[in-house]
Amino acid sequence: MRRTFSYTLGLVAAAVLALAAEPADAQTIAPGPYYATPSWDQTLPPSTRFIALSNFNDEAVLDRETGLVWERSPVSILGTDWFTAVSACERLIVANRLGWRLPSVQELTSLVDPTQGNPALPPGNPFTNIVFFVSVYWTAATVETDPNSGKVVDFSTGSITQMGKVPIPLPRSGAKFWCVRGGSSVSNPPY
Tell me the C-alpha distance between 41 and 44, whole Å: 10
First to last CA, the chain: 66
Give domain status of residue 106, yes or no. Answer: yes
Give domain status of residue 189, yes or no. Answer: no
Buried b (16+ CB within 10 A) or exposed e, 125-144: bbbeebeeebbbbbbbbbbe
| pTM recorded for the entire structure | 0.76
Question: To the nearest whole number, what is the mean pLDDT of the chain?
Answer: 78
Q: Which domain holds residue 135?
A: 3-181
Give domain status of residue 150, yes or no. Answer: yes
Residue 20: pLDDT band by 50, 70, 90 thresholds?
A: very low
Give domain status of residue 187, yes or no. Answer: no
Residue 164: pLDDT band by 50, 70, 90 thresholds?
A: very high
Give domain status of residue 154, yes or no. Answer: yes
Question: Mean pLDDT over residues 142-151, rounded?
Answer: 95
Give domain status of residue 128, yes or no. Answer: yes
Give pLDDT, residue 76.
Answer: 72
Residue 133: pLDDT band by 50, 70, 90 thresholds?
A: low
Q: What is the pLDDT of residues 49-87, one digit of tens each?
A: 999 999 999 999 999 999 999 999 998 767 889 999 999
Give domain status of residue 186, yes or no. Answer: no
DSSP assigned state of 76: -
The count of structural domains within the chain is 1
SS (H, E, C) 30-58: CCCCCCCCCCCCCCCCHHHHEEECHHHCC
Residue 5: pLDDT band by 50, 70, 90 thresholds?
A: very low
Kindly tell me if the per-residue pLDDT of 159 is higher than 90. yes
Give domain status of residue 117, yes or no. Answer: yes
